[in-house]
Structure 1
Amino acid sequence: MAGSTAQVSGRPKKARIEIIPLIDVIFFLLATFVLFTLSLNKTQGIRVTLPQVFTGEPRATEGTHTISVTEQGTLAWDTEFVNLDEFLRRLQVFHTSNPDGRILINGDENASFNAAVYVFDEARKAGFEKVLIETKVRQAK
């Protein structure tokens, strides 16, 4: 029975802390923390298939707007699809309100290279010095 003490040789048996369930709880908490932390580094763009690279490093996304280029060449500002004029207008407004802001280009791996370069060039023309290209790190085999 849980919590009861047994008599061994006339003395009460001491309570023990079982270490295996404690290790299980610690691993569960660690896994939960890792998954939660990984979910914090998501970008605001729409879902696209990112190009894969071997050299890549995580970057903070604070002060960043994500420009997505889909496989069909359409543009999205964060999660909202926009036309070309709206994209250019939002670039100017964002640069005016946040001159040190960053633009993250989130281009589909099958998107036209020309479309991604156009977004990059327009962001630079708007005055942004920090224009980043989002990629997915390829796992070494």
Structure 2
Amino acid sequence: MRYLSEKKARIEIIPMIDIMLFLLVFFAMLMLKMIPTTGQVTKLPTSSTAQELPSPKLLVELKQDGAIWVEQQQLSLPQLTEKLKKMGDKTAVTISGDKEADLQVVMKVLDAIKLSGVTQVAIAAKTQN
């Protein structure tokens, strides 16, 4: 008469652990996306043909007042050229700037990048809504 005896209820804990680990990984990845990865916040210009680029090896930020920032440091044009020469000509550089930045400053930065021998240059922009 063993088949008539009641079975005790069991709580399976393994599926619950799987779900908790999945949620932990999900929220960790979400938090990493929310943390800004580089530099200061700038108001990027907009473009209807903007595309997503891979993370740059070096981000050059142009401020409204004409200041040039690289890796949390303000640099002059000769300092920027020297830094890029040390990094090598295979470095990918992205120029990010305030939408109010002077176009002449952008051209000076492009000239400094060309003098260093770097050929992979991109300009950051937001897509138009």
TM-score of the superposed pair, with normalisation by structure 1: 0.66
In the alignment, what sits opposite 1:90? Answer: 80
Is the CA contact 1:95–1:101 (under 8 Å) kept in the aligned structure 2? no
In the alignment, what sits opposite 1:72? Answer: 65
2:109 matched to 1:119?
Answer: yes
- Quick one: distance in 2 between partners of 1:58 and 1:97? 20
Is the CA contact 2:84–2:118 (under 8 Å) kept in the aligned structure 1? no
Which digits, 9 at most, give the CA deviation of each residue in 1:44-91, with x for residues without a partner? Answer: x33322223453213133xx2222111122112221123xxx332331
Q: CA RMSD in A?
A: 3.1
Report the residue type matching 2:61 in the other structure: S
Which digits, 9 at most, give the CA deviation of each residue in 1:22-55, with x for residues without a partner? Answer: 656634431322332x268823x33322223453
The runs of at least 4 consecutive aligned structure 1 residues that moved more than 4 Å come to 18-25
Matched residue SS, 1:30: helix
2:2 matched to 1:11?
Answer: no
Distance 1:88 1:72, change over 3 A: same
Report the residue type matching 1:71 in the other structure: Q
Is the CA contact 1:124–1:131 (under 8 Å) kept in the aligned structure 2? no
Distance 1:92 1:51, change over 3 A: same
- Quick one: distance in 2 between partners of 1:79 and 1:132? 19
Sequence identity, in percent?
A: 15
2:28 matched to 1:32?
Answer: yes
In the alignment of these two chains, the number of paired residues is: 124
Unpaired runs of at least 5, structure 1: 1-8
